[in-house]
Amino acid sequence: MAQIAPSILSCDFARLGEDVKDVCDIGIDYLHIDVMDGAFVPNISFGSAVMKSLNGIAAAPYDVHLMIENPDNLLEDFVTDNTAFITVHQEACRHLNRTVQHIHSLGVKAGVAINPATPVSVLENILCDVDMVLVMSVNPGFGGQKFIPVALDKICQLDEIRKTKGYDFLIEVDGGAGAGNAEALRAAGCDIIVAGTAVFKAADRKEAITLIKG
């Protein structure tokens, strides 16, 4: 069984609160907050004000995914009583260890994300300090893209490393995940499955969530 983190990127933004309440009522583990700056990724989504508008509506903790250059100056903005994780991209941080320390100093769990073309090996010296590794299974920037299979291999590698070294970070996958590949993702060692399209665009959201969690 995996945890699920529906991405609000696939909500109908004109009725964001209703969509979020709907999935929280069904039962989810985290609410995935995709923040894009138009620089690190070729798209702009929304900032912390939109996330905070859900305070009091979202019954699930926030899993914040920052797809932004130099996130250090903005980290504080995303800290609320409801923020469980803040994840930054390895590719966007010049001093990744400092950024991870900064997130921890705010009382929030720290995640590090890697793009499809980034190998697990670059994380060797940060894995002992992170609470989560987010394996991107699409190139970040847009919802509704096709799953890139190299992510499965990376999840296996990370699972092996944490077993061998005794680390306790969680493994999350993000992009193109749904009922069709959730079983393989869980078998590879994935703990948290992010799903945007597969949840919010589903005819039956409850069924989609149940099938993804396994």
Report, as residue numbers or ranges, the catalytic residues: 34, 174
In the complex, the smallest distance separating the C-beta of residue 139 from Zn ion, rounded to whole angstroms, is: 12
Query: What is the spatial distance between Cα 208 and Cα 211, in angstroms, rounded to a whole number?
Result: 5
Helix count and strand count (H, E) for the chain: 7, 8
In the complex, the smallest distance separating the C-beta of residue 72 from ligand DX5, rounded to whole angstroms, is: 20
- Alpha helices, DSSP H, located in 106-172: 150-165
Interface residues for Zn ion in 53-82 (CB under 5 A)?
65
C-beta of residue 126 within 8 angstroms of C-beta of residue 113: no
Query: Which of 103, 113 has the CB closer to ligand DX5?
Result: 113
String of DSSP letters for 139-154: -TT-SSPPP-THHHHH
Interface residues for ligand DX5 in 137-156 (CB under 6 A)?
138, 140-145
Q: Is 63 in the site for ligand DX5 (CB under 6 A)?
A: no
Q: Which of 29, 34, 37, 131 binds Zn ion (CB under 5 A)?
A: 34
Which residue minimizes CB distance to Zn ion? 65
Query: What is the spatial distance between Cα 154 and Cα 36, in angstroms, rounded to a whole number?
Result: 24
Length of the chain counted residue by residue: 214
Interface residues with ligand DX5 (CB under 6 A) are 7, 9-10, 32, 34, 65, 138, 140-145, 174-177, 194-198
Binding site for Zn ion (CB under 5 A): 34, 65, 174
